[in-house]
Structure 1
Amino acid sequence: MTDTTMPAPTRAGNITRRGALILGALALCGLVAVMVGARFGLLLMIGLGFGITLEGFRFGFAGPWRATITRRDPGGTIAQLIAIAIVALAAFPLLSSHGSEMVGAHAPVGLAMIGGAFVFGAAMQVVMGCGSGTLVNSGSGNPISLMALPFFAIGSFAGAFHLLWWTSLGSMPTVAFSGTSGLIGTLVALAAVAAVLLWRAPPELRRVPRRLWIAAPVLAGLAILNLLVAGQPWGVVYGLGLWVAKGAAATGVDLTQSAFWGTEANIARVGQSLLTDVTSLTNLGIIGGAFLVAAWRNGLSQKLPSYPARAWIATIVAGFLLGYSSRLAFGCNVGAFFSGISTGSLHGWVWFAAAFAGAFVGIRLRPLLGLEAKA
Structure 2
Amino acid sequence: MKRLPLLALMAVFFAWMLWSVSMRQALLFLAGIGLGVALAGQRFGFTTAWRILVEDKNPSGVVGQLIAFGLAALLCMPLLGHYGELTAALGPPSVSLLVGAFTFGLCMQVADGCGSGVFYKAGMGIPLNTAILPLFAVGSFLGSWHLGWWLELGRTEPVGFVTLLGWQRALALTLVALALIGVGVAWYTRRWHRARGAAAPQLWVRKWVVGAIMIAAFAALVLFISGNPWGIIYGPGLWVAKMATSAGVVDPAHNWFWSLPDNAAILQQSVLLDVTTITNVGILAGALWVSAGKPAAHKPMTGRQWSVALLAGLLLGYSSRLAFGCNIGAMFSGISTGSIHGWIWAPMAFAGTIFGLRIRRRMGY
Normalising to structure 2: TM-score of the pair?
0.93
Instruction: Quote the residue 1:278 is aligned against.
Output: 275
1:117 matched to 2:112? The reply is no
Letter in 2 for 1:363: L
Q: 31, 40, 44: which is aligned to 1:46?
A: 31
Give the deviation of 1:78 after TM superposition: 1.0
Letter in 2 for 1:28: F
Instruction: Quote the residue 2:240 is aligned against.
Output: 244
Provide the C-alpha distance between the structure 2 equivalents of 1:55 and 1:116, rounded to a whole number of angstroms.
26
Q: Which moved more, 1:40-49 or 1:19-28?
A: 19-28
Instruction: Quote the residue 1:289 is aligned against.
Output: 286
Instruction: Quote the residue 1:367 is aligned against.
Output: 361
Q: Is the 8 A contact 1:62 1:129 kept in 2?
A: yes
Identity %: 43
Instruction: Quote the residue 2:42 is aligned against.
Output: 57
1:337 matched to 2:334? The reply is no
Q: 221, 232, 257: which is aligned to 1:225?
A: 221
Q: Is the 8 A contact 1:198 1:206 kept in 2?
A: no
Give the deviation of 1:21 after TM superposition: 2.4
Give the deviation of 1:349 after TM superposition: 0.7
1:184 matched to 2:172? The reply is yes
Q: For each residue in 1:195-239, what CA deviation from the matched residue of structure 2 results, as whole angstroms up to 9, or x when unmatched? A: 111111235314221122222111111011000001010000111
Give the deviation of 1:134 after TM superposition: 0.3
Give the deviation of 1:27 after TM superposition: 2.1
Q: For each residue in 1:264-319, what CA deviation from the matched residue of structure 2 results, as whole angstroms up to 9, or x when unmatched? A: 32122112111111110001111111111111xx224455x432222121122111
Q: 201, 204, 218: which is aligned to 2:200?
A: 204
Secondary structure of 1:162's aligned partner: helix
Unaligned 5+ runs, structure 1: 1-13
Give the deviation of 1:20 after TM superposition: 2.5
Instruction: Quote the residue 1:5 is aligned against.
Output: none
Q: Is the alpha carbon distance of 1:188 and 1:149 closer, same or farther for their aligned partners in structure 2, counting shifts above 3 Å?
A: same
Provide the C-alpha distance between the structure 1 equivalents of 2:309 and 2:254, rounded to a whole number of angstroms.
30
Provide the C-alpha distance between the structure 2 equivalents of 1:93 and 1:208, rounded to a whole number of angstroms.
27
Provide the C-alpha distance between the structure 1 equivalents of 2:17 and 2:338, rounded to a whole number of angstroms.
32
Letter in 2 for 1:367: R
Instruction: Quote the residue 2:194 is aligned against.
Output: none
Q: For each residue in 1:13-45, what CA deviation from the matched residue of structure 2 results, as whole angstroms up to 9, or x when unmatched? A: x9xx43322222222212111110111111011
Q: 306, 311, 320: which is aligned to 1:312?
A: 306
Q: 123, 131, 135: which is aligned to 1:139?
A: 123
1:90 matched to 2:75? The reply is yes
Unaligned 5+ runs, structure 2: 191-198
Instruction: Quote the residue 2:294 is aligned against.
Output: 299
Q: For each residue in 1:40-75, what CA deviation from the matched residue of structure 2 results, as whole angstroms up to 9, or x when unmatched? A: 111011111111110011111000110011111111
Instruction: Quote the residue 2:193 is aligned against.
Output: none
Secondary structure of 2:290's aligned partner: helix
Letter in 2 for 1:105: A
Provide the C-alpha distance between the structure 2 equivalents of 1:30 and 1:219, rounded to a whole number of angstroms.
24
Q: Is the alpha carbon distance of 1:263 and 1:172 closer, same or farther for their aligned partners in structure 2, counting shifts above 3 Å?
A: closer
Instruction: Provide runs of 4+ in structure 1 moved above 6 Å.
Output: none
Letter in 1 for 2:261: E
Instruction: Quote the residue 1:261 is aligned against.
Output: 258
Provide the C-alpha distance between the structure 2 equivalents of 1:154 and 1:18, rounded to a whole number of angstroms.
31
Give the deviation of 1:139 after TM superposition: 0.7
Give the deviation of 1:368 after TM superposition: 2.3
Provide the C-alpha distance between the structure 1 equivalents of 2:339 and 2:258, rounded to a whole number of angstroms.
24
Instruction: Quote the residue 2:195 is aligned against.
Output: none
Letter in 1 for 2:204: V
Secondary structure of 1:128's aligned partner: coil
Instruction: Quote the residue 1:7 is aligned against.
Output: none
Provide the C-alpha distance between the structure 1 equivalents of 2:255 and 2:356, rounded to a whole number of angstroms.
31
Q: Is the 8 A contact 2:111 2:310 kept in 1?
A: no
Normalising to structure 1: TM-score of the pair?
0.91
Give the deviation of 1:171 after TM superposition: 1.5
Q: For each residue in 1:151-204, what CA deviation from the matched residue of structure 2 results, as whole angstroms up to 9, or x when unmatched? A: 111111011111111011112221111221111111000001111111112353
Aligned residues: 352
1:75 matched to 2:53? The reply is no
